Structure formats: structure tokens, C-alpha cells
Amino acid sequence: MSFSFARRPQAQAAIALAGAGCVLATGIGSAALWEAACAGRSGIGPLQAKHFRSRRIAAFGHVGEAEQEHCRAALPAHLLRYAPPPVAWGLAAVRQALAEAGLEPQASGLRFGLYTSQGGYTHPSLDAYAELLHECRAGNELDARRLAARVLQERALDPFLVLKSLSNGLLGIVSLAYKLEGPCGAYMQGVAGNHAALREACAALRERRIDAAIVVAAGSELDALALADLARAGVIAADGATDFRPFDRAGRGGIAGEGAAALVLRRQADLAAPEAVCLTELHAQAQLRGLASAQGGCELLIASGWARPEADRRLAGSLARFAPRHIGNSQALTGILSGAPSLADLVLARQALQAQRVPGIAGLQEPVSPDLPFARASRDAPLRQAQVLNVEGNGFAACYRLERLPAPAHSTNRITL
């Protein structure tokens, strides 16, 4: 199946990325992601987990403790109990995106839609069990009476709290924090979930059911069960690898990460800006081969990779069909994101178009396909458009085209602030 915008005049089809925000291993904000990309500075570091250890999985793309505390402190007090860390990051990313777009939902008079993609909720929270058992210890023994009271009377392990978060927890917290009323949707994690959220947001804008869309994704794989599943599937390295090197001949496998990213989307014709970065096309296919066959003529391609040389060589064959002038990657900075893989890449591509600069791939030394234009270092380049390509482990692929477009000649500024 393939989805794309119908071919209409650009003033009608173009959806502007009016604001962006993120909380990732590179820090808080799209500027922090961009600075890390330009400097080739990865946010991946040693795996640090409170309740488990691993010799085989040695690295992770952690959101820093200071950043976590900042996001937690900004949560409304009445929502603290219901917001695990990824949800707090997601709300922080939304706050950044709205500020950049110059919008305050309750004061704008605009009709908002909210579309979320959330990862990290498919396993029970082992941390919740571990903390409860630690709390009920008496010396070197377990206080069974206290444990029974906590579970049976005080509902310490209520199903709502045992799960790391409900699949619509991010949607609920953001909507409550901003008192949003309007169309909404909560979607699964990963590339497919991000694509579904973006597609629905764009459709609602084009059909004028809403005036602004908030698209936010968040998640974390910092969980023993989740990491074990990723290792068994071959998505992440399980041999003690400490760096993530996609598209490099020395790649040893992927490294997981965590974080959140958010976009505020508007119809370009409704903006006062003389020029905007716009999402002009989005496509998805069950297999990358079918998606790549319809592409071509790409100035900058931000593509996901596997950091497994043979797999990346095969992937490079499909990338060549896009005829890119430059190829970049964000995963070497953040790790593989379960919650916001596509949104993080869109944030990076938007920054590249605004800065007129190609971001280098952190750590890239020997590309698996030397004939392809993998960016080893950041450099200035004239860019009018960019594409983002994301591929799931099951082959599902999504592609987005961004373009810098001038304001339509017939634009009437309909922003209400």
C-alpha cells in the first residue's frame, strides 16, 4: 500500500512544519540535535540501568539525568503520577514546538488536532516490581505482610502503573496539559506509528477539519525485556559494541535509544512567513523495494541504517534509486528510537534546510558503498528539498519529502493569536 498527497497546487498541498521540539540523547531541543549533528558528537554512552546489568549490551542512547529532571519538573503537579519519563519528554517536546510556532492552544482561537505515536508500553515495568520489592525488604529478608498490604490493599501494582505506560498515555497527558478538544489519534510505536500519526494529521489539515496539528512521539527501550527482544531480533548489537556506526564497514550492529520529538503542522497558506519548510509528500510501502522504485532526484536523504555491513550494503542499493546528492543519518547520534524514529529525522532534515548545511554521519569512516555520497562531515550546501527514509526490521518503509517553499502569492494571513 502507498500513501501520498494528491497532486494539487502547492498552496493547497503544502503542509508547513511551523514548529519542532525534541528531547533526545543529544539534549533538549532541535538546536541541540543540530549542534551534535554538525559536530559529529554522538549522545550514545555506556548503558546505565537501575535494576539490571548487561555485559553483552554495553551502550545506549540515554536522555541525560539533568534533562529528565528538567522535563519532570515542568509537568503539571496533578499529572505527575500518570507520566512516566517518555511521556514527560513528549510533553516537553510539544512545549518547544508550540513555542517555536508562536502558538498557545487556549489563546489562539485555532482548532487543534493531536496525533501521537508511543513506544515502550509493550512490556510490564520490571522497575515497578523491583522498587516494590526493595521497599518491602526488612534487612536481608522480604516483609511478606508489608508486600501483601501494598499489593492487595494499597494497589501498589495497579495494572495502570505496572505497565510503563498505556498506549494512549502520551495523548492523554498532552491533551490534559493543554486542555485540547478536537480530533485525535494514538498510534503504535516505530516507523509505522509515526507514519500513521503524520498521515492523519496532514489529511485533517488538508480537509480543513483542523487549523493546526500537534504530532508527537516518545518512547524508551531502557528495559531488560525490550532490549532482550531487540537483541534476539538482531536489531541491536549483543557483543559489547559501544558505538553505533550505520553505513560503515566497521559497523557491529545497532544500539537502542530513547527520547521524544514533536512537530506543529500548519497549512502553509495560513502562515505569514515568506518561506517555510513544508511536508509535500509522504509515502509508505510494506517493502522498501517498491517505495524506492518511485523515488529519484533527492538533494539530501536522511536514511536509517542497521550498522551491519552486509545489511547496509543491500540497503545502499535501494538508496541509490533516490539519486541523492548527500546522505545523512541521525541514529549514530541518538540510537535506534522506538517512539520517534521518523519525527526525529524530520526535525533534523528541517534544521538542515533552514541552515543550508548537510549534517555529517557521526563516526563514519569507511562507507559500505564508497560510490554513494554518504556525508562524512558537515558542510554547507544549497538545499531546496530533502527526503527522510525510515525502514523497520520487518521491511516496512516510509518516506517523506520536505521542501523550502515561498509563501503562495494568494496567501491570506489567517493566523489568530
Task: Give dist(CA 84, CA 92) in Å, integer.
Answer: 13
With 90 as the cut, is the pLDDT of residue 109 above it? yes
Work out the angle at residue 126's Cα, subtended by the Cα atoms of residues 124 and 131, and round it to the nearest 5 degrees. 130
Confidence band for 417, pLDDT divided at 50, 70 and 90: very low
pLDDT in tens, 254-283: 999 999 999 999 999 999 889 999 999 999
With 0-12 / 13-18 / 19 or more C-beta atoms within 10 angstroms meaning exposed / middle / buried, residue 54 is: middle
Name which of 345, 377, 371, 332 is nearest 358 in CA terms: 377
Of 82, 27, 65, residue with least CA distance to 344: 27
C-alpha grid cell for residue 209? 477539519
> Residue 122 has what pLDDT?
62
For the chain, give the mean pLDDT. Answer: 89
SS3 state of residue 32: helix
Query: 129 or 382: whose pLDDT is higher?
Result: 382
pLDDT for the residue numbered 195: 97
Q: Which residue has the cell 525485556?
A: 225
Burial string for 78-99 (b: 16+ CB within 10 Å, else e) reads: ebeebbbbbbbbbbbbbbbbbe
- Supply the DSSP string of 247-313, one letter for each residue: TBTT---B-BBEEEEEEEEEEGGG---SEEEEEEEEEEESSHHHHHTT---EEEEEE---S-HHHHH
Q: What is the mean pLDDT of residues 345-357?
A: 98
Orientation of helix 190-206 relative to helix 341-355, angle to 10°: 60
**Angle of helix 65-73 relative to helix 85-101, nearest 10 degrees?**
70
Q: Which of 42-46, 355-359, 412-416 has the lowest mean pLDDT?
A: 412-416
CATH number of 10-123+164-406: 3.40.47.10
Q: Give residue 82's pLDDT.
A: 82
Predicted confidence (pLDDT) per residue in 180-210, tens digit? 999 999 998 899 999 999 999 999 999 999 9
The amino acid sitting at 191 is: V
Instruction: Report the number of secondary-structure helices (H) and strands (E) in the chain.
Output: 15, 17
Which pLDDT score, from 0 to 100, does residue 149 have? 87
pLDDT of residue 1: 40
pLDDT computed for residue 394 by the predictor = 85
Instruction: State mean pLDDT over 342-365.
Output: 97
Asked if 403 contacts 277 with a C-beta cutoff of 8 angstroms, the reply is: yes
For the chain, the domains span 10-123+164-406, 128-159
Q: Dump pLDDT digits (tens) for 213-248.
A: 999 999 999 988 889 999 999 999 999 999 999 999
Tell me, what's the pLDDT at 126? 73
pLDDT at 297: 75
Which residues, 6 or more positions from 405, have their beta carbon under 8 angstroms from its beta carbon?
Answer: 10, 14, 268, 275, 276, 277, 278, 280
Q: Residue for cell digits 536523504?
A: 301
Residue 338 has pLDDT above 50, yes or no: yes
Give the whole-angstrom CA distance, residue 384 versus residue 361.
20
Give the ranges where 293-367 is alpha helix by DSSP (H). Answer: 309-319, 331-334, 341-355
End-to-end alpha carbon distance in the chain = 39
Q: Indicate the burial class of 272 (C-beta count within 10 angstroms; 0-12, 13-18, 19 or more).
A: exposed
Residue 306 in this model has a pLDDT that exceeds 60? yes
**Residue given cell 521540539 in the structure block:** 21
